[in-house]
A and B are shown apart, each in its own frame.
Chain A
Amino acid sequence: MSSSKIASKIPEGNLEQKWSKYRSTVPLVNPANKRSLEIIVVGSGLAGASAASTLAELGYKVKVFCFQDSARRAHSIAAQGGINAAKNYQNDGDSVYRLFYDTIKGGDYRAREANVYRLAEVSTNIIDQSVASGVPFAREYGGLLSNRSFGGTQVQRTFYAAGQTGQQLLLGAYSGLQRQIGMGAVQMFARHEMLDVVNIDGVCRGIIARDLVTGKLERHFGHAVLLCTGGYGNVFFLSTNAMGSNVTAAWKAHKKGAMFANPCFTQIHPTCIPVSGDHQSKLTLMSESLRNDGRIWVPKRKEDAEAIRAGKLNPNQLKEEERDYYLERRYPAFGNLVPRDVASRAAKERCDAGFGVNKTGEAVYLDFAFNMKYKYGKTEATKKGISNPTEAQLNALGHEVIKEKYGNLFDMYQQITGVNPYENPMMIYPAVHYTMGGLWVDYNLMTTVPGLYALGEANFSDHGANRLGASALMQGLADGYFVIPYTIGAYLNNEIRTKAISTDHEAFVEAEKNVQDRIDRFFAIKGTKSVDYFHKKLGKIMWDKCGMARNEAGLIEAIEDIKALRNEFWNDVRVPGAANELNPELEKAGRVADFLELGELMCLDALKRNESCGGHFREEYQTEEGEALRDDENFKYVAAWEMLELGNWELNKEDLIYDNIKIAQRSYK
């Protein structure tokens, strides 16, 4: 039985008809009334930009906030590989159902059927909309759209623009947003950070934001507030997130009554550039698309791994039979294209066993030499009529193809590591990349606070315990372009009589005062350590004890460690400068203070989920072969946490019901 405090509001009827029926029957708001309804959108990534522009097109009055200097900088821009859609342009057996099925299975049966099916349904519209707004996707010579494969699927359904798909999609959504700004339908607040939500009589009515340039606190009213503020991977300090990515908006909402769901579901991406030293500020992803052509391996013999680590052996000298292509060995059906959680754990397993290949022992190879020569080199040689090509010829021909497909990624790799990946295999290691958990939302994307919504990575709803590659862009745009414009009507049609509330209302005054008090408190500490010092310490606790593998003892320890660190932070942090100016250290202090609270909840959630599923791997629960062992009898639920006070959370369960999919142990063998 699900908790009575949460209602998922999934429409009745067959899975295939739920969304179309809902769209046809959801209450509407007439155009004249839309003009007096105000919507606040926080965050300008794919979810925020697409929601804001679409809602403005419908006639609502929209305000958008982002902490960067322009809406175009949001971290969606860094997504590389692609976006999934069930177009079946390749005629390879794809369908809405198959995309739905792959996503549920990929998420290790911890996502909501109805939401995922809707996502798969609207996926095709996203590609249409993006192409119409000028997104230059990759095309074949015939002029039609090109597709490639991603992990966890056996069809080619991923649309892409070189290794810059997120950039192109975001710039498409951003240009739509700028159009509405130019027409005065959207008011943009760049370099503004949301620091609290304002509730009146249990309903969300606005936000408090800080102008990051002047330091001035501002009150903004909205009939509805949409948090499109991304994920919280930066709780680990080192992640592939942007430096500014943070949990603050979602966390403030949580502290004001919005439940936080599945916080421990974190995605560790298998192919990132390994850590190079203590100075490391962030990690860089190498797109999953590289696993189409890159083969992952470590040496078969430990002596060879040791020799490589000591710089005495060049990996290119190892013969095929001396290499362990461990993914191909363990998972012959999917090979190098197993889902991310599986690939990450397999890399950790090999490195922990002593087969790692860089100086820290925490890296494996991603090698393109074989496909460069024998897949692409041979095809090109045949096309050009070269019979009996030499190895060097094959290499040169394949080099060009690889360059066209992944050139920017190879350049980035060389830039960061100083090593040429065309000549030497890339070294990679898993890193924190995405958070499947987030604010709990119902089918309408509304949190447990009426009027407060969460879209994109900020919510929990579609990816279960593990997100498949190329599905984050899909979800962000689905939520913004095609879901919220309908579902928000279900709420706002009851708000047409609500006049704009004055921001002199005591709830706004009080919220602003709390924000101001907290800022004053940061400056009053005058401690000895920088914000980064605490952030790095927190990151290490999280990575060691709530990272790729977790266990009960470690999690209990982590909770105590975090509490102690939080205490130290509030007594010894040093925030230089003043409140009334651009002050990046103050911004960071606020974000890290929130991470120091979130980290505790993540560990608590991981501790209470006595099973392994997707990205959540509890060492106590694994099969003999080391695969994640789910416990569907006891844990087939969404864990929605309600904060009673800091350090005291109440668990509310939403049972997951699978009417259309037979759940089974996930197998990619």
Chain B
Amino acid sequence: MSEQNINVTLKVWRQRNSQSKGGFETYPLNDVSTDMSFLEMFDVLNEKLIQEGKDPVAFDHDCREGICGMCSMFINGRPHGPKQAVTTCQLHMRSFKNGETIVVEPWRAKPFKVIKDLVVDRSAFDRIIAAGGFISVNTGNAQDANAIPIAKENADESFAAAACIGCGACVAACKNASAMLFVSAKVSQLALLPQGQPERKQRVMDMVAQMDNEGFGACTNTGACSAECPKEISLTNIARMNRDFLAAEITNK
């Protein structure tokens, strides 16, 4: 793929802190190499803003390899931008056209409060995991790793669910700001493994209760979450969680 330079216009959400009111600022940016990643383009913008004595744009990012889940930009109305199955950090400028206007916003969801500019608070996800997204096995209690064979297809399906990076794109994509895809991915990962069985019912009830407490919306099966998920977490996880939840509610209460 040959490298080119393009000119773009950025409309970026700027918000000083969680209390202040935000708004869009427009920044033209010229000679952007199509080999740049989207975040490298923001590095260039920030360098320019610093030179002009302005405040650079705050945005979350860390690994820049698509795996840590920290980057979180809502680009032209889509979490992580126009490409399928990539995070913002893996999006490259070759996905944009010369002269294009690119609108960049933070994740929009009530439980994800804006901290500054494009940075939001996703600690609700941590609290949901703390409520039950684990197997209670203290260090030292484990038996030999090969003592329980696990059918390859279950292990693979569990892994596919476990590939969730916890970025929150599913919530940002959902019109109800539902966290069902995130929660169901963890529920499924553990429900598909023999090690996850003893706590299976309690886990799903506790995690769903915490999800509701955090103020995430309900699921109406539109599937935007899965369509926008950078790791392509499947909607069937939500179905599995619903089954498990129903079964747990019926048999436990």
Contact = CB atoms under 8 A, between A and B. Distances in A.
Given A140-B152, A161-B162, 5 more contacts: A69-B121, A70-B123, A130-B145, A179-B130, A282-B65
Interface in B149-192: 149-152, 155-156, 158-159, 162-163, 165-166, 189-190
Nearest to A79: B67
A574 B41 CA distance: 20
Contact of B126 (A72, A74, A75): A72
A57 B139 contact: yes
Contacts of A417: 1
26 contacts: A50-B139, A57-B139, A70-B122, A87-B145, A136-B156, A136-B162, A136-B193, A138-B159, A139-B150, A140-B152, A144-B146, A166-B67, A176-B134, A178-B133, A181-B126, A188-B126, A242-B62, A242-B68, A243-B63, A412-B65, A415-B66, A418-B35, A530-B50, A577-B55, A582-B115, A585-B50
Nearest to B136: A179
Nearest to A244: B62
Interface stretch (B86-94, B97-105, B218-226): B86-94
Q: Which 5 A-B pairs have the closest CB atoms?
A: A143-B149, A418-B1, A182-B130, A132-B142, A175-B134
A264 to B, nearest CB: 26
Nearest to A280: B40
Nearest to A213: B115
A166 B43 CA distance: 27
Given A69-B122, A415-B86, A125 B142 contact: yes
B36 A277 contact: yes
Contacts of B151: 143
Contacts of A281: 37, 39-40, 43, 64
Contacts of B41: 279
Contacts of A132: 135, 137, 141-143, 145, 195
B10 interface: no
A77 interface: yes
A202 interface: no
A131 B142 contact: yes
Contact of A530 (B51, B190, B195): B51
Contacts of A71: 126
Contacts of B150: 139, 143
Interface string A28-48: 000000000000000000000
B130 A136 contact: no
Contacts of A419: 1
A374 interface: no
B139 A54 contact: yes
A128 B142 contact: yes
Interface string A379-408: 000000000000000000000000000000
B76 interface: no
Interface in B15-37: 16-17, 33, 35-37
B60 A69 contact: yes
A144 B149 contact: yes
A279 B40 contact: yes
B209 to A, nearest CB: 12
Contacts of B239: none
Contact of B149 (A136, A142, A280, A415): A142
Contact of B130 (A133, A139, A181, A190): A181
Contacts of A162: 159
Contacts of A131: 142, 145, 195
Contacts of B132: 182
A133 B133 CA distance: 11
B61 interface: yes
B47 interface: yes
A481 interface: yes
B193 A68 contact: no
Given A68-B70, A133-B134, A582-B58, A128 B115 contact: no
A175 B1 CA distance: 41
Contacts of A50: 139
Interface in A503-545: 530, 532
Given A136-B159, A276-B35, A574-B50, A581 B116 contact: yes
Contacts of B152: 139-141, 143
B245 interface: no
Contacts of A530: 47, 50-51
Contact of B68 (A75, A89, A175): A75
Contacts of A133: 134-135, 137, 142, 195
Given A75-B62, A279-B43, A576 B155 contact: no
Contacts of B162: 134, 136, 161, 168, 171
Contacts of B119: 582
Contact of B196 (A78, A134, A144): A134
A415 B90 contact: yes
Contacts of B40: 279-281
A73 B70 contact: yes
A485 interface: yes
B123 A190 contact: yes
A134 B195 contact: yes
B252 interface: no
B23 to A, nearest CB: 18
A11 interface: no
B106 interface: no
Contacts of B58: 582-584
B44 interface: yes
Residue of B61, B67, B162 with most chain A CB atoms under a 10 A cut-off: B67
B126 A73 contact: no
A573 to B, nearest CB: 10
B251 interface: no
Nearest to A175: B134
A482 interface: yes
A166 B250 CA distance: 38
Interface string A175-215: 11011011000001010000000000000000000000100
A68 to B, nearest CB: 6
A141 B162 CA distance: 20
A280 B33 CA distance: 11
A585 B136 contact: no
B189 A243 contact: no
A292 B182 CA distance: 34
Interface string A141-155: 111110000000000
A130 B193 CA distance: 13
